[in-house]
């Protein structure tokens, strides 16, 4: 069984610790925005380590839309590469934990539809996309 390596980004690691430590009762929103957050447990593609990545909660039915925005940075977040290498993730949504498979959305029409849902859930996603030439990837996590 691989070890969990916390995010080197302090506030992220703290959110994961609070979220999981409270069994999904605390730390479930983005700071004081009240906007819901999920935790995506994924496998480090180089270390094989367990990585836990908080993302905004955007849902399409029972599926979760995972947006590799990283605040509009020029490069993809590293978890993007983890999901491409191993799409099997575990998603914690408050007290619910579900094993899912994430597929990167490449069909333009499907991506447009899911992007619209994601931006409605978290409007800053559009600002992030507007400030970078990088096409922000979108995954859809579906129950296995």
Residues making contact with ligand F42 (CB under 6 A):
7-9, 12, 15, 30, 37, 44-47, 49, 51, 53-56, 67-70, 77-79, 81-82
Looking at beta carbons only, is 73 or 97 nearer to ligand F42? 73
Looking at beta carbons only, is 79 or 115 nearer to ligand F42? 79
Q: Tokens 């496998």 sit at which residue? A: 43
Residue of 135, 121, 1 whose CA lies nearest to 69: 135
Q: How far is the CB of 82 from ligand F42 (least distance, A)?
A: 5
DSSP string, 2-37: PPB---SSHHHHHHHHHHHHTTTSSS-BSGGG--BE
- Tell me phi and psi for residue 117, to 5 degrees: -65, -45
Looking at beta carbons only, is 45 or 113 nearer to ligand F42? 45
Q: How far is the CB of 6 from ligand F42 (least distance, A)?
A: 8
């Amino acid at each position: 069984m691989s070890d969990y390596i916390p995010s080197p980004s302090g506030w992220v690691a703290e959110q994961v610790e609070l979220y999981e430590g409270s069994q999904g009762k605390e730390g479930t929103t983005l700071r004081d925005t009240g906007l819901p957050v999920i935790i995506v447990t994924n496998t480090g593609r180089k270390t094989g380590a367990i990585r836990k990545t908080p993302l905004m909660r955007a849902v399409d039915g029972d599926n979760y839309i995972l947006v590799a925005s990283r605040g509009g940075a020029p490069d993809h977040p590293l978890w993007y590469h983890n999901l491409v290498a191993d799409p099997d993730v575990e998603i914690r949504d408050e007290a619910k934990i579900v094993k899912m498979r994430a597929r990167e959305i490449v069909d333009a029409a499907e991506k447009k539809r899911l992007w619209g849902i994601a931006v409605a859930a978290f409007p800053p996603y559009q600002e992030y996309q507007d400030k970078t030439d990088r096409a922000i990837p979108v995954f859809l996590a579906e129950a296995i």
